[in-house]
Amino acid sequence: MKAYFTRHAQVFMRTLGDFARSPTPTVMTVMLIGLTLALPTGLYVGLLNLQRLSQGWRPHGSLSVYLKKGGADREAVATIRRVPGVATVRYVSPTRGLREFKTASGLRGMGLFGRHNPLPGVVIVAPARPGPHSVALLATRLRGLPDVTHVQSNLVWVERLDAALAVGRRLVTLLAATLGLALVLILANTTRATVASRGTEISVIRLVGGTNAFIRRPFLYIGALTGGLGALCALLVLEVGLIALAGPVAALNRAYGAHYRLAGLSLRQALALLVLGASLGWLGARIAVARALRQGEI
């Protein structure tokens, strides 16, 4: 077992030596892989931030129930309170509603609407059970009440945002899969060129009794190292991107009075990216070497 690890360590050190001997093509390949991985990773981080940001805006599935104008609001509120699935109710009278509207829209003190108030009474209903299905069922029940003109679910925009985020996630997955495949092909091609340049070495190793596994080993290390370094390069690109965006996000925060901070990848996600890069590099090298070895077999 010790001899096995010693052999691997020797091959690994030789691979590092090969890297050092020809740094220019290696660095270019690493940068190419880094940029290839940075695109889907950057989009993924963007989606993560959007998702995090939207968490703070999410209502808890309350319903706005609009009453008939000029109706008996007090009785209507009592009826709504008795509907199964209703946890609490809060009545907003037309007068209060107009006041809140004027405050929120900055039209207070402008004498708009005069004595005429166009707003109906509104009951804000908190459902006993959260969740889109329960809220939708409750909304249907409330719509059936005689004094109710309109029921609006505050979850609608959240559902739309979730759907948009799901589309975004799927797009990132597809992009990552496509670029991952491209990365495997890039590394397979790079390894193929390296294998071709070492034809004499491979034939000598075969001649002295080297197995395919022995011949393959240094190329797999090269692939995994190149892929891993490419992933590290992608993390650096991402970090630089986040630093570049920090200023504009701070300005946006000041404008909205918010305190949002852009988040990057967690340590676990960063490690996963490194492992993914190394694995894709290993796979590309494995494909290229397997092909070359098959051609040399008798």
Partner 1 sequence: MIELKHVFKRYPLGTEALSDVGFTLAKGEMAFLTGPSGAGKSTVLKLICLLERPTRGQITVNGHELVRLPTRRLPYFRRQIGVVFQDNRLLNERTVFDNVALPLVVAGMTGDEVRKRVLAALDKVGLRGRERGSPLALSGGEQQRVGIARALVHRPPLLIADEPTGNLDAALSDDIIDLFREFNDHGVTVLIATHDLRQIDRLKKRVIRLGAGHMLGAA
Which positions lie near partner 1, rule CB under 8 A?
Answer: 3-4, 6-7, 10, 200-201, 203-212, 214, 297-298
Classify the C-alpha dihedral 207-208-214-217 as positive or negative: negative
Q: Which residues contact 183 (CB under 8 A, 6 or more apart)?
A: 33, 36, 37, 227, 230, 277, 280, 281, 284
Closer by beta carbon to partner 1, 196 or else 252: 196
The residue among 9 and 87 lying less far from partner 1, judged by its C-beta, is 9
Q: Which residue number, 105 or 211, has a Cβ lying nearer to partner 1?
A: 211
We find the least distance from the C-beta atom of residue 6 to partner 1, in angstroms, to be: 5
For partner 1, give the closer residue by CB, 9 or 53. Answer: 9
Task: Give the E-state strand segments of the chain in sequence order.
Answer: 63-67, 86-92, 122-127, 148-153
Minimum distance, C-beta of residue 24 to partner 1, in the bound complex (Å): 17
DSSP string covering 126-140, please? Answer: EESS-SHHHHHHHHH
Closest separation in Å from C-beta 204 to partner 1: 5
Tell the smallest beta-carbon distance from residue 228 to partner 1 (Å).
24
Structure token pair of residue 226: 């190149």
User: Of the two residues 87 and 204, which places its CB atom closer to partner 1 in the complex?
Assistant: 204
Alpha carbon distance 59, 63 (integer Å): 10
CA 42 from centroid of its chain's CA atoms: 9
For residue 283, the minimal CB distance to partner 1 (Å) is: 23
